[in-house]
Amino acid sequence: MNRKNIKYFNELRKKAESLVYPTCEEDFELNPEKIKHLFEELSINQVELERQYEDFKLTQTALQQSRQDFANLFDFAPVGYIRLDENAQMLQMNKTFMTMLQIPPTKLKNKHFAQFVDERDLALFNVRFPAFYKKPDNKTLELRLKTYKGETFEAELKAYFLDDTSELSKKTQPCLLVTLTNVSERKDMERELQLSAIVFENSDAAIMITDIEGRILKTNLAFSKITGYESEEVLGRSTRILNSGKQSKAFYQNLWQQLKTQGSWRGEIWNRHKNGTLYAEWLSINSVADKFGRTSHYIAIFNDITQRKQDEEKIKYLAHYDILTQLPNRALFNDRLQHAISYAKRHKQWLAVFFLDLDRFKQINDTLGHAAGDVLLQQVAKRLKNCVRETDTVARFGGDEFVMLLTNFSDEESAILQSTEISAHILKALSQPFDIAGGRVMSSGSVGFTLYPKDGYSAVELIRNADTAMYHAKEKGRNTYQHYTDEMHSNSLARSLLEIELHSALANQELVLFYQPQVDLQNHNKIVAVEALLRWRHPKKGIIPPNDFIPILEETGLIHAVGEWILKTACQQLKQWHTSKYSELKMAVNLSAKQFMHCDHLVETVKKVLADCQLDGRYLELEITESVMMQNLQETSNVLRQLREIGVCISLDDFGTGYSSLAYLKKFPLDTLKIDASFVRDIAEDKDDQIIIQSVIAIAAQMLLNTVAEGIENQAQADFLIAQGCKLGQGFFYSKPVPAELL
């Protein structure tokens, strides 16, 4: 009931009393009408009063409710509230704050806010806190707080200074209202985002985020590095800006299809750099879904793999091609041949495999140097390619060996015909002079070929048989070609058998030396020397001549042991002859090219054998051929000089058949030239041979060298040589090579 109502009510009461108890001053007439009216008015007022009282009660309840609401709001607000005085003493706090800081209800009193500040941030708090009391309001501070139990969390503080102007402050001291929010989670998230941003920016892989239309939304540094585009140049643009045009439409359709159905795509792709160059990348795209599961973005991550691809290509090339000639190598050739055989088999066709070996390549290499040898091989490769069709394969097998594959022959006849023609064509091409190192070099080759299916069914067989045929071409005098025959195969089988048997020949004492005399043509054919010639007494095949097995000894390396044995046996025999019948006899021993490859060993062996046999070096003559002399000029000449120093004589065998020039002859410490039997054979009829022999003898005399003519078989030959002043002669005319006991 408010005051106005009370006043009004009092006036009414007074009026009613004056009616019941009239005063003398008042002119009062007890009028029932008036009384009735007054009572009506009274009861109306009564109702009004009751209504107002009801209102008043309602207002009071509402007030109480709102007070409670406010208290609840204050206590259970999502942020912590505290009221601090000027010294940061806590005057009031809500429940959220208490929960945040785990403060037990019993410990509410006399709390200073600083005691909840983590030590690490205490200094910061002390510096910033006084400023909270100054305008402007709404200051924010982030602090690490520690709870009553000692746990730390990160909080954001917002302070509102309640100053003197407020009505409230007239009754209370000035204070600070502070709200607190636990921001640990947000901070963690921020840090995580920051980390992600660092990873995003600094990733070696390019990262590109697009919307579902493929419009670029975000790129990183690596993206710019790989594509050449700065971020701002591509933002909002379609990823098509990177297209190289190298992939087909179907490729992209398939990519999108997979991306939509499986949510990711991975693979290799070619794109275009800003500068126009193409690069290969390894790309993986993943779709990102929003909370409703709908694709909202795509994330593409890629690395530039151009270099890696180039390296791979290079490795692949190196594995399949010969660097020097750029021709396919053995591996690739085998592969192509195998495919060609399968194809020929299916289509009932014929194919041909050629094996080519350059004649005397080693000599060219040794005399002109390896660089010149390399140029020769390159030029040979070019010429060979010109001899065949684009679709045929020319490969280098290694060294001076080349192989070729020709396909698509309809039948045997055309295969033979065309292979023969091509062989001839190749030989002709190789016989043209080569321009090397400013000079002209002559070369030639030996070719063998095989035909599928006649000469072999497999790649191995066809190549091996072509090699055998080539070998026969070489034996036939080089610069020629041979088609493989089965007979060649049996020959090579026989050779393999010999090889096996040779291994035990020395131990089984099947190797023997025969001796052929060298006579003094100018002095009644007196025997002055013998040449030791090797023979193999085969238990089944009888005597096998050296030319049939010395190459095998050389290939297998047995030549070293056998060579040492020959030297020892010959010297022992000579010693025996010295003490029995021929006191001044000399012994000629042949040395093979392979024995010269271990020169140091050779000199030592010779020294030791001479010492063991107590022989003077001058009784020993070592025969070498021109090719031995040319194989390693410097080293050979050194070894010969060392042999010379111990008195051993050196003679040049088969003179005239090799490639040595007179200039080289002068450089070597030689004693004797042995004129090859081929010049002696037709000496009576062939004018050219006569001239050659005359010249050789004249040159030898000039150079103070001895001459020995080989292969003298009759009197006419002997007469001619005697007339020309040839010193010594050797041949069947005087004696065949014979066992020691027959001499």
Residues that bind ligand C2E (CB under 6 A): 516, 532-534, 545-547, 550, 566, 590-592, 623, 653-654, 677, 710-713, 730-732, 737
Residue 651 binding partner per list ligand C2E, Mg ion, none, with a CB distance cut-off of 5 to 8 Å that depends on partner kind: none
User: In the complex, what is the shortest distance from the CB of residue 625 to Mg ion, in angstroms, rounded to a whole number?
Assistant: 8
Residue 580 binding partner per list ligand C2E, Mg ion, none, with a CB distance cut-off of 5 to 8 Å that depends on partner kind: none
Please enumerate in sequence order all residues whose Cβ is within 8 A of that of 722, keeping only pairs 6 or more positions apart, or say none.
Answer: 521, 522
Q: Give yes or no for residue 590 binding Mg ion (CB under 5 A).
A: yes
Residue with tokens 């010379």: 644
If residue 447 lies in a helix (H) or strand (E), which one and from where to where?
Answer: strand 445-452
Please enumerate in sequence order all residues whose Cβ is within 8 A of that of 36, keeping only pairs 6 or more positions apart, or say none.
Answer: none
Radius of gyration of the chain (CA): 58
* Nearer to Mg ion (CB atom), residue 121 or residue 710: 710
Number of Cα atoms under 13 Å in the Cβ half of residue 501: 17
**Contact stretch for Mg ion (CB under 5 A) within 20-28, 303-311, 597-605, 648-656:** 648-656
Residue 456 binding partner per list Mg ion, ligand C2E, none, with a CB distance cut-off of 5 to 8 Å that depends on partner kind: none
User: In the complex, what is the shortest distance from the CB of residue 452 to ligand C2E, in angstroms, rounded to a whole number?
Assistant: 38
* Nearer to Mg ion (CB atom), residue 23 or residue 547: 547
Q: What is the DSSP letter of 183?
A: -
Do 408 and 349 meet the contact criterion of CB atoms below 8 Å apart?
A: yes
Do 465 and 484 meet the contact criterion of CB atoms below 8 Å apart?
A: yes
Structure tokens at 330: 């053995």
Residue with tokens 């396909």: 407
- DSSP assignment of 695-711: HHHHHHHHTT-EEEE--
Kindly give the pairing relationship between strand 728-729 and strand 511-520: antiparallel
Residue 281 binding partner per list Mg ion, ligand C2E, none, with a CB distance cut-off of 5 to 8 Å that depends on partner kind: none
- Count how many residues are written for the chain: 743
* Nearer to Mg ion (CB atom), residue 591 or residue 613: 591
* Nearer to ligand C2E (CB atom), residue 210 or residue 516: 516
| Torsion sign over Cα 420, 426, 429, 431 | negative
User: In the complex, what is the shortest distance from the CB of residue 677 to ligand C2E, in angstroms, rounded to a whole number?
Assistant: 6
User: In the complex, what is the shortest distance from the CB of residue 513 to ligand C2E, in angstroms, rounded to a whole number?
Assistant: 7
* Nearer to ligand C2E (CB atom), residue 656 or residue 737: 737
φ, ψ of residue 652 to 5 degrees: the values are -100, 110
Residue 256 binding partner per list ligand C2E, Mg ion, none, with a CB distance cut-off of 5 to 8 Å that depends on partner kind: none
Q: Give yes or no for residue 623 binding Mg ion (CB under 5 A).
A: yes
Q: Give yes or no for residue 653 binding Mg ion (CB under 5 A).
A: yes
* Nearer to Mg ion (CB atom), residue 154 or residue 623: 623
Q: Give yes or no for residue 357 binding Mg ion (CB under 5 A).
A: no
Q: Give yes or no for residue 322 binding Mg ion (CB under 5 A).
A: no
Rounded CA-CA distance 655/699 in Å is 12
SS3 content of the chain, % helix, strand, coil (to 5): 50, 25, 25
Residue 546 binding partner per list Mg ion, ligand C2E, none, with a CB distance cut-off of 5 to 8 Å that depends on partner kind: ligand C2E
Please enumerate in sequence order all residues whose Cβ is within 8 A of that of 65, keeping only pairs 6 or more positions apart, or say none.
Answer: none
* Nearer to ligand C2E (CB atom), residue 110 or residue 547: 547
Residue 711 binding partner per list Mg ion, ligand C2E, none, with a CB distance cut-off of 5 to 8 Å that depends on partner kind: ligand C2E
User: In the complex, what is the shortest distance from the CB of residue 674 to Mg ion, in angstroms, rounded to a whole number?
Assistant: 6
Rounded CA-CA distance 211/262 in Å is 17
* Nearer to ligand C2E (CB atom), residue 499 or residue 713: 713
Rounded CA-CA distance 363/342 in Å is 40
Long-range contacts of 140-145 (CB under 8 A, 24+ apart): 142/183, 143/117, 143/118, 144/117, 144/118, 144/120, 145/100, 145/101, 145/116, 145/117, 145/118, 145/180
Do 412 and 418 meet the contact criterion of CB atoms below 8 Å apart?
A: no
* Nearer to Mg ion (CB atom), residue 265 or residue 679: 679
User: In the complex, what is the shortest distance from the CB of residue 688 to Mg ion, in angstroms, rounded to a whole number?
Assistant: 20
User: In the complex, what is the shortest distance from the CB of residue 347 to ligand C2E, in angstroms, rounded to a whole number?
Assistant: 50
**Contact stretch for Mg ion (CB under 5 A) within 303-311, 360-368, 590-598, 664-672:** 590-598
User: In the complex, what is the shortest distance from the CB of residue 471 to Mg ion, in angstroms, rounded to a whole number?
Assistant: 23
Rounded CA-CA distance 272/270 in Å is 7
User: In the complex, what is the shortest distance from the CB of residue 448 to Mg ion, in angstroms, rounded to a whole number?
Assistant: 28
* Nearer to ligand C2E (CB atom), residue 340 or residue 534: 534
User: In the complex, what is the shortest distance from the CB of residue 700 to Mg ion, in angstroms, rounded to a whole number?
Assistant: 15
**Contact stretch for Mg ion (CB under 5 A) within 143-151, 322-330, 464-472, 587-595:** 587-595
* Nearer to ligand C2E (CB atom), residue 299 or residue 677: 677
Residue 547 binding partner per list Mg ion, ligand C2E, none, with a CB distance cut-off of 5 to 8 Å that depends on partner kind: ligand C2E
Q: Give yes or no for residue 654 binding Mg ion (CB under 5 A).
A: yes
The binding site for Mg ion (CB under 5 A) comprises 590, 623, 653-654, 710
